[in-house]
Amino acid sequence: MATQLRKQEWTPTREFLPVILGKEIGDELEERDLAKLELFEKGLANELKKDDTIADAIAKIVKMAVAAEFGPSLVASKGAKAMIDTIARGIMHDAELRKQALVIIDRFAHA
């Protein structure tokens, strides 16, 4: 008996709508979450370049997400590179996650 997986349309969570759509949600997000999103967006705007490979850009997204959520000290810690690389590889090998990452790259990458 074959198992069928239903493909679900990705719906951005409240936290990613400002990142992906460029719209502010305001009151629906806590101040702490807004600060994290702002840090994430500023980091991406500074780091992502149009000439980055997709793999490099996704690694930068993961690195910025980890730094925004847990602090830059985790990114600088021993073993963080392996963790970031593993997460980035997982995103690269999943079509939906890769598509979401490409939307973020398109939004924030600069020349």
Domain boundaries, the chain: 17-21+29-108
Encode pLDDT of 81-111 as tens digits.
999 999 999 999 999 999 999 999 998 898 7
| DSSP-based three-state secondary structure for 66 | helix
Structure tokens at 24: 């502010």
pLDDT at 28: 61
pTM of the entire structure?
0.72
Tell me what percent of the residues of the chain surpass a pLDDT of 70: 74
Q: How many CA atoms lie within 13 A of 16 on its CB side?
A: 12
Amino acid at 65: A
Contact 66, 75 (CB under 8 A): yes
